[in-house]
Chain A
């Protein structure tokens, strides 16, 4: 299990690195926790969405009169209810969104661009009536040819999703529209010179399928819009401030008039950083004058919410016979879905990030296809490009007979490495994860006949950003911690630990809450693995703010200068013998005296957190392949990752395990199956196969701690990196087992069996 080598194991920290029970745990296991669909209001209506049955169609007209005439139907919303918005890019999670597109994604305007695209919504007294009403809405479609594949969509004669789309990032600008929204390029050195130095050059082409984040809780919200144009919105989201901004924009409201509360969240993984139902529910509520609740079915989640981009990636890497990588080049083609904005840019930036290279060139294409708009999914863009690079690196190692961990160590990015995407790395832990991999018992354990072992490394930047936090001291000395980042992975526990450490109080005395948008200043969403880092930083700042106030009061009580008071172990003490002889005043003492000494204590922080530390990881996996059925079984799996500092090691381990398991699904089984009309055939967990518990072994974890110098306790984000290495690690392991390299995901039983059969036939010939 986790070998937590806490950098401060000498006892310098008391709470950081411990494993208290999570504050939200009891509510979750007893069913008290209120998720998106758990709120009910008086007079509440049920909202339902009518979705396009076509992958691509012009909407000639929408006639909702019959639906409106149905008893129990209160209102209908269509494109006519939303004002068109001009092009304006704003950050949502780690990806940008364009308001012009957001308004079209929540409600189709000129065209339906994917099967499942909303074209109308109704609010009715019951779900049954709402469903009946949907069937009465008459939409006149002109069905258009559609395109699903990224390469097909780039062809000159491909059906155009947006007839006026001129590719950005190309000089001179193309004169003809296409489905290519953008071309990006990252360059370092001179790849031609780099390849000239190489003894071996390998180039390969890879493909990955779109995969869904697979959060168990479907999208759900309840909107309550009042006659004076104020509104409340309760929803399941990774960022209620971002939801507020998007909804206010789409409804033409002041943000201060919209109060958004984030419910407990049943998984997001990046997919709950955008809005789908929320603006529609608000519009239905505005028009009907009643609260409106909307919840997607699982089928709707699959048909209409964002997967990770499906991709085609070409990679070329040169290396000397001694194992020095001389150059890396890649071309990335990423599906954006129906609107521009695939994560191809981070895909380009991450592709070669684990390596210290002089010559790199990566070109990326952002391509529109008739599928739901992609959304962030853990380390958006990185798993696809790093799958390709890490596969080729494995092949290079095997070509010269060098241990693949050794090859990576020889070329690993470290402090001082200039990354191809610009920055020079500070302290990073890739070398440490590779050293741990090499030393791990798993890496040396004998394999059974027919099994294979693979390794791969992965990188993600992590982010900081705008963040507020408040600590409210109660009159008994206990503390209410208010954060603005929804807790999707145990962050409330991590924030409490950081507050406890800062204040020197028992973590049990701190009760956390995710405040609504009116209780705190603007706080960016939970994404980019930023919460333990950025909200953590804010909580530490808020703690220091409170300590300042506490010391002032103690100074007042003792009648000594505030400089003569120090805060230590949860109490105010005279700083040295010169300050005078006074009994310490604890947090509880000072809380009790608050009224007599100047009033309540509130520690606040509003920061723009800078200096997020990137996190590297290395995975080791053993697979067994059934040669007769093509089934790949994961026999053993170890994740090694740099956490900077593991504030609550259990939740770091949880992140590492969860990422690995999602990566296993991505590698082996998950894919969208469409019919020839572009309609999704497997919109449910029965046929869209995320792994079940019995599909995976216990995922072993090793936490490496190379502290991030910009965070007071050394924290780096950990939530995203773990989904980056699995696809390549598993493909490399399958190669080890079969001597066959799979470059197309998923490595599903039919694909693997077909490759085995083809090889048998080829061998026989």
Chain B
């Protein structure tokens, strides 16, 4: 196995494009190394992207937040501006693993591991974040929800990797929230995850809403119906009930060791409601 740590995007693309299907990107390694040790994967080439500046910085560009692909949970958690703009994304990232894992785990790793239960992905999707992707054919931008196509499957081409996450501008009275359900309090995989992102108008009515669910379908899903149930309302109980019903209806989970279809479907609505309440509360406090 060959290990490379290029310092430029171009360098990484070149290595990856030449590496073939058995080349792998390494960010924090908290998924990759575990899979390596378990014998689940046996890459011939590992390309560490952490020396590439663009993957490690958190920037604000004209009111838009940009988070590098390999920024760690711990770094993001200490970034005041990121927390103020996207509290839901930050709290989702901070849920990953433990203190040790937080020192390594990244957003891109979480997304590109392509688990339907990845914690940051529903928050990123609700936030309408976009991936900046570099590859042999140049750069392109893709909404986060289009990156994973199935468990373990990505829409990235050979030689491509995620450089950064770009977030939209933040209107006033906006906030997001993420909640997950696990039987324990930590060190567990989401049985259901719910990200909700809300904006309110001057009159206290919901102007925009995005609801995204994790662990209830082969990929993280954006539930547009659920968002629509909130738009134009004050996110009162009736609206939240409609939203929850839409969220539950969108679930296509499986029965597995982590939860039953029945359980996941029910709890998806519960968590979406709770996350929406938190987001609404935050939005009202936000300016």
Interface residues of A, Cβ cutoff 8 Å to B: 131, 628-631, 668-669, 673, 681-682, 685-687, 689, 691-692, 694-695, 748-750, 753-754, 757
Contact = CB atoms under 8 A, between A and B. Distances in A.
B262 interface: yes
30 contacts: A131-B39, A628-B267, A629-B181, A631-B181, A631-B183, A668-B183, A673-B257, A681-B257, A682-B257, A686-B187, A686-B188, A686-B189, A687-B257, A689-B183, A689-B188, A691-B184, A692-B185, A692-B186, A695-B184, A749-B183, A749-B263, A750-B260, A750-B262, A750-B263, A753-B263, A753-B266, A753-B267, A754-B262, A754-B263, A757-B266
A713 B117 CA distance: 56
A694 B267 contact: no
B128 to A, nearest CB: 28
Contacts of A631: 181, 183
A748 B182 CA distance: 11
B14 interface: no
Contacts of B77: none
Highest count of chain A CB atoms <10 Å: which of B186, B191, B257, B262: B257
A442 B154 CA distance: 54
Nearest to A673: B257
B104 interface: no
Nearest to A299: B38
Contacts of B184: 669, 689, 691-692, 694-695
Interface in B163-207: 181, 183-189, 191
Given A749-B263, A753-B263, A757-B266, A695 B185 contact: yes
Highest count of chain B CB atoms <10 Å: which of A629, A689, A695, A749: A629
Contact of B185 (A628, A694, A753): A694
Given A669-B184, A686-B189, A695-B184, A628 B270 contact: yes
Interface string B217-257: 00000000000000000000000000000000000000011
A295 B183 CA distance: 30
B187 A629 contact: no
Contacts, number: 52
Nearest to A675: B257
A675 to B, nearest CB: 9
Given A687-B257, A687-B258, A629 B267 contact: yes
Nearest to B256: A681
B182 to A, nearest CB: 9
Interface of B: 39, 181, 183-189, 191, 256-260, 262-263, 266-267, 270-271
Contacts of A749: 181, 183, 191, 263
A628 B244 CA distance: 12
A751 to B, nearest CB: 9
B278 to A, nearest CB: 15
A686 B266 CA distance: 23
Contacts of B191: 749
Contact of A669 (B39, B183, B271): B183
A335 B162 CA distance: 52
Given A628-B270, A692-B185, 8 more contacts: A131-B39, A629-B270, A687-B257, A687-B258, A689-B184, A694-B184, A750-B262, A754-B263
A734 to B, nearest CB: 15
A687 B188 CA distance: 8
A668 B183 CA distance: 9
Contacts of B39: 131
A695 B186 CA distance: 8
A682 B262 CA distance: 20
Nearest to A696: B185
A243 B257 CA distance: 36
Contacts of B262: 750, 754
A754 B267 CA distance: 11
B192 to A, nearest CB: 9
A686 B256 CA distance: 14
A416 to B, nearest CB: 45
Contacts of B271: 629
Highest count of chain A CB atoms <10 Å: which of B184, B185, B186: B184
A685 B270 CA distance: 27
Contacts of B186: 692, 694
A748 B260 CA distance: 12
Contacts of B263: 630, 749-750, 753-754
Contacts of B267: 628-629, 753
Contacts of B188: 686, 689
Contacts of A673: 257
A687 B256 CA distance: 11
A757 B266 CA distance: 10
Contacts of A686: 187-189
A668 to B, nearest CB: 8
Nearest to B260: A750
B215 to A, nearest CB: 13
Nearest to B274: A628
B181 A750 contact: no
Nearest to A751: B263
* Chain A to chain B: the 7 pairs with minimum beta-carbon distance, closest first: A694-B185, A750-B263, A628-B270, A673-B257, A681-B257, A695-B185, A682-B257
B259 A750 contact: yes
A668 B185 CA distance: 13
A138 to B, nearest CB: 20
Contacts of A754: 262-263
A65 to B, nearest CB: 24
A629 B189 CA distance: 16
Nearest to A687: B257
Nearest to A627: B270
A686 B98 CA distance: 13
A349 to B, nearest CB: 34
Contacts of B259: 750
A691 B262 CA distance: 25
Contacts of A628: 267, 270
A731 to B, nearest CB: 17
A748 B189 contact: no
A683 to B, nearest CB: 10
Nearest to A684: B38
A692 B186 CA distance: 7
